[in-house]
Amino acid sequence: MSLLVLGSIALDTVKTPVEERLELFGGTASYATISASFFTRSHLVAIIGDDFPKEYLEDFKQRNIDLSGLQIVPGKTFRWSGEYFNNMNNRKTHSTDLNVFANFTPTLPKAYRELPFILLANIGPDLQLHVLDQLQAPRFVIADTMNLWINIARADLVKLCKRIDLLSINDSEARELTEENNLIKAGALLRAMGPQYVVIKKGEHGCYLFGPDQFFSCPAYPLENIKDPTGAGDAFAGGLAGYLASHSNDSNSKKPVDFETLQQAVVYGSIMASFTVESFGPDRLRSVKQEEIEERWQAFKKLSAF
């Protein structure tokens, strides 16, 4: 089944302790749709300026991503610039130039409004709510967020949480939003805010999936070299959402998504994130082959089975 993906498209400048790269193909919706494209067809909702490289637009098209919800407007595409330190776990944003993104208030194409699976990739919760308002009867809504929105748009984020099925959030954000240090307790507190399911991402330590009376501890793929963590969380959400959409075949069904399918979705999300960090920008993610995904699934299975 099909997936709606809302998020940002950006040109990223990324610095690590080793290297700096300028104007990389980036944005939360870019990583999420590229990742989801290995599993299902995505319908993109985003905005770019007329300076956006044609090559990247072509990439979306070749991946069978529906661009009828993509606005291309005169002006400059959103730019982000940041730096990673030490063990790649600490990030500092150097600059955020919203450009055309500043006036983004998407109106969904009619065909989008009936889509069953929704990924609200990391973007302001006001925009996430604005898109949710236009949907008729979504079957499963996933939302990602970040510390920025916890700090400057907490009220909207709290409102959003009441209307989604799964929240994807990283460990420090979970602690910040719940004011609870213990992640097991934080997971329960986040579920109490609304979403039936919560994923807490722990970077190199894998992630937790919390459900009603259910819990899954997903390992991380053991990587010796992390080139650039940018987009890992978005590729995770995209892989998760894409797998879920492609493995829920009851059309028009409001049958609840089961925990076992969600567990697999979390594993596939983790696999896509593990590829993402192996290169600067989405290069490695873009070049992944289906058999590599399956190989890595086997590796995940092997490293955690006992």
Question: Which parts of this chain interact with a second copy (CB under 8 A)?
Answer: 86-87, 181-185, 202, 204-206, 208, 215-220, 222-226, 260, 263-264, 267, 300-301, 303-306
Q: How far is the CB of 83 from a second copy (least distance, A)?
A: 17
Q: Which is nearer to a second copy, 232 or 267 (CB)?
A: 267
**299, 240 contact by CB (below 8 A):** no
Q: How far is the CB of 217 from a second copy (least distance, A)?
A: 4
For a second copy, give the closer residue by CB, 74 or 212.
Answer: 212
Least spacing, CB of residue 18 vs a second copy, in Å: 13
Measured from the CB atom, is 79 or 201 closer to a second copy?
Answer: 201
Retrieve residue 255's tokens: 């049958």
Smallest distance from a second copy to CB 37, Å: 23
**Shorter beta-carbon distance to a second copy: residue 116 or 229:** 229
- Taking the least distance from each CB to a second copy, the nearer of 50 and 260 is 260
Of residues 92 and 185, the one with the C-beta less far from a second copy = 185
Shortest approach of a second copy to residue 219 CB, angstroms?
Answer: 4
Closest approach, Cβ 280 to a second copy, in A, equals 18
